[in-house]
A and B are shown apart, each in its own frame.
Chain A
Amino acid sequence: MTNNFPKNEQQVELRGVFKTYGSESAVAGVDLAVRKGEFFSLLGPSGCGKSTILKMIAGFEEPSGGELIVAGKHMIGIPPERRNVGYVFQNYALFPHMTVADNIAFGLEARNVRKELLSRRVKEMLALVELEGLAERRPAELSGGQQQRVALARALAIEPDVLLLDEPFAALDRQLRQHLQVKVLELQRRLGVTTIFVTHDQEEALTMSNRVGVMSLGSRSIEQIGTPHQIYYEPATPAVSTFVGQINIWEEEVAFDLSDGGVETKNGFQVRNYDTASGRDGTIIVLLRPERIKLSSFADSNDPVNKLEGVLSDVIFAGDTTHFMVDTRLGRFHVKRLNITDGDEISRGKNVFLSWSENAIRALPKVEWAQSRAHTSRHS
């Protein structure tokens, strides 16, 4: 996904924001700049502080320190009712004794919007979320998906400076969730509203976002900010690499530089996206996604580098993919294969050969990795 949002137009900015409860750290030193119109996700396991960040932006929680700027205005000390922020709660928090129309109108009512204007705006919002026929229903008479759309319409009716989505899909079943993800994304693009989306579901974050900030339980802070592609293929820290997708990680010693860029390791693997020019050498950490590995039952003589022999220890069928666990001299490797053909049945205990392209690997100096690991565990 491309990311062509103007870097200088920041709609939401957090500088060194942290939150403590007594001696307990909930959020540690977050720096974040969300651009105007961007769909930004905060991804992390439950308890990592991502919801607390959202609550601080909305004003439901006050940061213990740091700066918070929304639409160019400093927000510290300003109560939620005077921030122009739309919030969709995980449980939607619809007002149970009000009709759908009254729920959507509530923010306008609080702003003393004139009657005609108010009812016109409510109609617009109902049309926007395709709930025209349900204006007079109560929330309890709606399905989960409909409730979510009402919550969305209610938050959007006030034309917020930023839309905050707190795990709004968590309570829905898988099919409905995927359907609504598309709808929400369409709506967000159409209105161009800056959106911050909190989720623990990596697939959701990767598919929906322009950029993703990955948080970890250890650091209570943002480990890496990047496009979904960067987050997936160039994880910057151990926490990111293990939380987002599955990955094979092992250590290699650099043997020598390759003449056409990259290095070759002592195990005979070629790594392209790494160079020793900037004085980096010695031990490197190698990251390899399971789906980038080719698995076959016979040695491929055409490709002399980047191959590894092992014994198949486990086969796990997962519908669209099959997972293979292969024990090699470098440890256990996880290989994932799309089930696009019937495929040759390889049974457990058989010898297999793994191979991958020299661009499939991501490598980092062990020093940097160790530093980020230290950073990760500092607060835990």
Chain B
Amino acid sequence: MIKRTFLSWIYLSFLYIFLFFPALIVVLFSFNTSRVWSFPLRGITWRWYEELLARPDAVAAAMNSLIVATVTMTVSVALGGAVAFAFHQWRFSAKNGVESLLLLPLLVPNLIWAIGLLLLVGAIHLPTGPATVILGHVVLTMPYVFLLVRSRLQSLDPNLERAARGLGATSPLIFRRIILPHVGPALLASALISFATSFSELVVAFFLTGAGFNTLPVFIYSLIEIEPSPIVNAIASIIFFVAVTCMLSAALIGGREVAFTHGGDSHDK
């Protein structure tokens, strides 16, 4: 037994090293005084972060990312939560159809979605910009909200609603006092996941940002193409930090349900 625990611990460590080592290297080099990617490090510096903050285009991209992520999070939680609640409250024949449609973005590669959305946006003559990026991100993140909130609702003891009703409570009171407190952690966790996903997403944003509007990941991408600089490491570290913080908080708040629904994380960082 002890041996088995030890082995699985080693296995897990290797897994995490494999997953996070590249990202940690990026973080490490973002503090390196040298421009060159090579060991040993020459020294520790905040220089690249300072340079980054001095660039208006970088700051603008960061602000854009913040705004897009915040709006995406809000819309996604509202819509996904509403659909999950509808699934809990009513029986309707289209349930399976609606569910597969809603979860489709989890299965289709982001690139395909991005191209599809771009074609759609073009077809209906919608100018690309913040709104289209948000639209794309809402479609990507709503499944997580839906899955999390719905699985949380499924764990709600039906007797609680019965008890409340038997005590004279009408639906609005039951929603406010019984259902909302129960799904609260799931709403918060899915909000954080939506924010992190939107903040770090590249592919859909790249296709749907349009001219003159950049999110942070798109900004890095163009930076790498045009003028490779250690600033890239600094931006990547910031994105990594935001995403990891959000995801860890989500896991802490949402617990097992987050781990299950978000286990097959496949979106690009």
Name A's B-contacting residues (CB within 8 A).
58-60, 79-87, 89, 91, 93, 95-98, 106-107, 109-111, 154-155, 158
Contact = CB atoms under 8 A, between A and B. Distances in A.
A81 B168 CA distance: 4
B166 A106 contact: no
8 closest Cβ pairs, A-B complex: A107-B167, A93-B159, A110-B168, A110-B169, A93-B163, A97-B181, A80-B165, A87-B166
Contacts, number: 66
Interface in B49-92: none
Interface in B138-183: 157, 159-160, 162-170, 173, 177-178, 181-182
Contacts of A91: 157, 159
Contacts of B166: 58-60, 80-81, 83, 85-87
B130 to A, nearest CB: 38
Nearest to A111: B168
Contacts of B169: 81, 106-107, 110
A81 B165 contact: yes
Contact of A158 (B157, B159, B167, B177): B167
Contacts of B168: 81-82, 84, 107, 110-111, 158
B173 A110 contact: yes
A87 B162 contact: yes
Contacts of A79: 165
A60 B162 contact: yes
A106 B177 contact: yes
A378 B30 CA distance: 82
B186 to A, nearest CB: 13
Nearest to A105: B167
A98 B167 CA distance: 15
A265 to B, nearest CB: 53
A80 B160 contact: no
A165 to B, nearest CB: 13
Nearest to A85: B166
B167 A93 contact: no
B159 A89 contact: yes
A87 B159 CA distance: 10
Contacts of B182: 96-97
A154 B167 CA distance: 8
B110 to A, nearest CB: 37
Nearest to B156: A96
Assign chain B's interface to a size class: 10 to 19
Contacts of A109: 173, 177
Nearest to A106: B167
Contacts of A154: 163, 167
Contacts of B162: 58, 60, 80, 87, 89, 93
B252 to A, nearest CB: 18
B164 A106 contact: yes
Contacts of A110: 164, 167-170, 173
22 contacts: A59-B165, A59-B166, A60-B162, A60-B166, A79-B165, A80-B165, A80-B166, A81-B170, A82-B168, A86-B166, A89-B159, A89-B162, A91-B157, A95-B177, A96-B160, A106-B167, A109-B173, A110-B167, A110-B169, A111-B168, A158-B167, A158-B168
B10 to A, nearest CB: 37
B152 to A, nearest CB: 13
Contacts of A60: 162, 165-166
A331 to B, nearest CB: 46
A95 B170 contact: no
A97 B166 CA distance: 18
Contacts of B173: 109-110
B153 to A, nearest CB: 15
A95 B165 contact: no
A95 B178 CA distance: 7
B170 A89 contact: no
Contacts of A80: 162, 165-166
Contacts of B170: 81, 110
A79 B165 CA distance: 8
A314 to B, nearest CB: 44
Contacts of B177: 95, 98, 106, 109
A95 B157 CA distance: 10
Nearest to B178: A95
Contacts of B181: 97
A91 B162 CA distance: 12
A85 B159 CA distance: 15
B160 to A, nearest CB: 5
Contacts of A97: 181-182
B179 to A, nearest CB: 11
A97 B165 CA distance: 17
Given A97-B182, A106-B177, A89 B167 contact: no
Interface in B172-198: 173, 177-178, 181-182
A93 B165 contact: no
Nearest to A112: B168
Contacts of A85: 166
A365 B249 CA distance: 75
Given A60-B162, A109-B173, 11 more contacts: A60-B165, A80-B162, A81-B166, A81-B170, A86-B166, A89-B163, A95-B178, A96-B160, A98-B177, A110-B170, A158-B168
A226 B165 CA distance: 33
A91 B178 CA distance: 17
Contacts of A83: 166
Contacts of B159: 89, 91, 93
A91 B177 CA distance: 20
A95 B167 CA distance: 12
Contacts of B160: 93, 95-96
A155 B164 CA distance: 10
Contacts of A106: 164, 167, 169, 177
Contacts of A95: 160, 163-164, 177-178
* Most chain A CB neighbours (cut-off 10 Å) among B163, B165, B177: B163
